[in-house]
Amino acid sequence: MMKEIIVDKKYHEKKLNKVILEKLPNINYPTFCKLLRKKDIKINGKRTNKDSIIYENDVIEIYLPKEMENIRIDLDKVYEDENILVINKPVNIEVTGTNSLTEIINKQYTNCEFKPQPCHRIDRNTTGLVVFAKNKESLEILFRKFKEHEIEKHYLALVYGIPNKQEERLEAYLFKDNKKSQVYISDNFKKGYQKIITKYSVLEKRKDNTALLDVEIETGRTHQIRAHLAYVGYPIIGDGKYGKNEINKRFGKKYQMLCSYKLKFNFKSESGRLSYLSGKKIELNNINM
């Protein structure tokens, strides 16, 4: 199967890989390199290399192998109107970046002037609700609402260990190590650490020494829920970074059992064209944990 891309002004004088990886989210960088080695990518009918610079109106031809012909990603749309789109994100995909949920959505909304943009993020292997704005005004409003905590984000977490308290509001400090892509928790403030607040309530206690928690974060830091719960002794089952490998193996879980399952729009300030959302709740049902 041959895919053809006519280069638009946005990609004028950019590298070849940029346009292909952004225009064809099913192709990752290793696949791109493999296609080049097999001489399955041409610019204006001529073979090329990964460092080629492309120009407006160039014609790129990509010859895809048969196994990629029927690749199709179905979006699980939980809610949509003229201003917002709420997607139930699957596991093993980033919200933004190359081959991300955003790229897949943009590919399916090619006829829109404004491509839907995410208003917040969840981890690659965390599932659940992600809100996208379908116009610039809604994006600006939702960025502000998330920042000012006027949208509640609730998660379901299956943890090992049963908390002594039915509900608790945890406060600590978090440091993000960008080089290791890992965070560290401290009870006391240290240089470079930021305050975090994580609330949980126990929804279910199970005989296998696990508990299902409703978790709400008042601060949205990287890996906050996963690291904070592990720090207080309740690691999320399946979490390979902050959990315990022997527990993950025992339960046969490869990804963290964490799902963004409920959003509440609690607008307290001016919300413009999104005022109709105030008081609305969007929730996933029948989550298997």
Contact 52, 15 (CB under 8 A): yes
For the chain, the residue count is 289
Catalytic residues: 123
What single-letter amino acid sits at 53? I
Contact 25, 46 (CB under 8 A): no
SS3 210: strand
Contact 260, 153 (CB under 8 A): yes
Q: Could you give the CA distance from residue 36 to residue 50 in angstroms, rounded to a whole number?
A: 7
Q: Minimal CA–CA distance to 260: which of 163, 157, 169, 174?
A: 157
**Encoded tokens for 198:** 């994580």
Q: Could you give the CA distance from residue 260 to residue 157 in angstroms, rounded to a whole number?
A: 9
Backbone angles phi, psi at 86, to 5 degrees: -115, 120
Q: Could you give the CA distance from residue 204 to residue 166 in angstroms, rounded to a whole number?
A: 10
Buried b (16+ CB within 10 A) or exposed e, 253-273: bebbbbbbbbbebebeeebee
> Under the phi-then-psi rule, with left for phi > 0, alpha for psi from -120 to 50, and beta for the rest, what region is 26?
alpha
